[in-house]
Each structure stands twice: as structure tokens, then as C-alpha cells.
Amino acid sequence: MSALNIRRGASSQSAYDLRDPNAPVTGSHTLAVIVENEPGVLARVIGLFSGRGYNIESLTVAEVDHAGHRSRITIVTTGTPQVIEQIKAQLERMVPVHMVRDLTVDGPAVQRELGLLKVAGRGEARIEALRLAEIFRANVVDSTLESFVFEITGTPEKIDAFADLMRPLGLCEMARTGVAALARGA
């Protein structure tokens, strides 16, 4: 009998897969933050994350109200519910921040990302790349005798799946915009 009270050979699972059932569950959250569009605001928001050791999986920033000088920062981060609540509270206390919404908790949301993928190949690999692009509704935005550049929009999972299929066909470069998200409904 081991220290974990598991008989040897009783489980096909690794001991690394065992976790405390009372431990908080870590989840991914999409935060929409409306801020003043002025120099240094993005650095302050990002500094809040880096200073406390929080990770940012995706970051998208753009001006959304030219007359009001406001920008929208969309951040995808992971953490326990307590960590996410702490992040939101700290963001709301910042002076240039007007609003913080957790789109993951607020209800259904639409999330999209843009990816540009350069695939180099010849012969059958080119034909297969074009066939897969059609299935994924990716557009060819540049073509040479040596390569294609595909443009694909969709969920991050869709772009990941497309990139995984393009790797054996000659994927040599990829650029992604990060997640843009809006809550559904009124």
C-alpha cells in the first residue's frame, strides 16, 4: 500500500493526475475593459497582471469611441474564481478604467480571432492545403509559386485546429490577432 492509499496496479492513471477534489478549479475568462485612450494606460493595465504573476493568454486593444477617447481592452486570462474576482476588483480601482466585464460569467458571448498562416509547399501538399482551407473557410490572401498565405477567422480552437492540420503540409509562419469578444443579446 502506498502513501496515497492506492494499491499498486489498481489504477491506470498517473499519480500526477490525482488532485485534491476540494481544490479550486482554474478556468479561462474573457475580460472586456473600457479605458481612457491615453498614453500609458495599457502599460498600467498590463503591469497589474505582471506585477502579481497573472498570465495573459490573449490581448486585443483598439479605440472604440473616438469622440470620447475610449479604448476597449479584451484580455483572456486563467485563474481560480477568487483570482479572477481579484483581477476584476483591481482593474475597477484603476483611475483610467471606466468599466470591467467578465464575458465568461455574464452569459453567452461571441469570440473571434483572426489568423494569418503562411504555408510553403509544392505538388500534393499545395492541393491538400487548398482543400483544407476550403473546409475551414479560410481565404487565400497571397499566393506565390512557393507558398500561400491563408486568412482564417473563428474561435481560437478553430484556428488551432487549422494550424495543426497545416503543420505537416509546410506551415512556416503564423500571426494571430488575439480574441475580440462581445456579449450576446441586449
Write the DSSP symbol of residue 167.
G
Domain tally, the chain? 2
> 88 and 116 share a domain?
no
79 and 128 in a single domain? The answer is no
Tracing cell 483572426 back to the chain, one arrives at: 114
Domain coverage including residue 60: 27-106
Nearest 5°: the CA angle 7, 10, 15 is 80
Dihedral of the CA atoms 88, 49, 94, 27 (nearest 10)? -10
Other beta carbons less than 10 A from residue 180's beta carbon: 18
State pTM to two decimals.
0.79
Residues 45 and 69 in one domain: yes
Domain boundary among 45, 75, 106: 106
* Other residues' Cβ atoms within 10 Å of the Cβ of residue 96: 17
Is position 83 within any domain? yes
Q: pLDDT tens, 111-141?
A: 999 999 999 988 999 999 999 999 999 999 9
What tens digit of pLDDT does each residue of 56-112 get?
A: 999 999 999 999 999 999 999 999 999 999 999 999 999 899 999 999 999 899 999
> Do 94 and 135 share a structural domain?
no
pLDDT band at 142 (very low <50, low <70, confident <90, very high): very high
pLDDT in tens, 170-184: 999 999 999 999 999
